Amino acid sequence: MSNVSFLVTQGIKTMFIELKRDFTQRFDQLDNRIHHVDEKFNKKFDHLSHKLDDIYERSATSIIIDRLRVDHQLEIPYTPTNRIFHANYSDKSKIFFIDREPS
């Protein structure tokens, strides 16, 4: 092999090594960006999931209180933070909860 063809071969080899390094570096940057977007999406999705759980709880709480009021004539004070029903709200609620307390 002549000296010129050796230099051409080495030049081509060096060029491909640099191209591979550049491709790898750019691919890693893209991978990092995708990973960052994925983390942001997961965080937003988790936040949305918690919001939906809260909305469901609030809706379910008001429905349960309304059903207890209508079906059992119970007087249950409702505040947005009240999520626990006590037997001591009224005489009727004591009667209602007496059969349902854990043994």
- Provide block-wise average pLDDT over 10 residues at a time, the chain (103 residues): 83 93 92 92 88 81 79 68 62 69 53
Phi, psi (5° rounding) for residue 75? -95, 105
**Distance (Å, whole) CA 42 – CA 72:** 44
Q: Which residues contact 68 (CB under 8 A, 6 or more apart)?
A: 74, 76, 85, 96
Structural domain boundaries of the chain? 3-98
Instruction: Please state whether the predicted TM-score (pTM) of the whole model is above 0.75.
Output: no
pLDDT of residue 2: 79
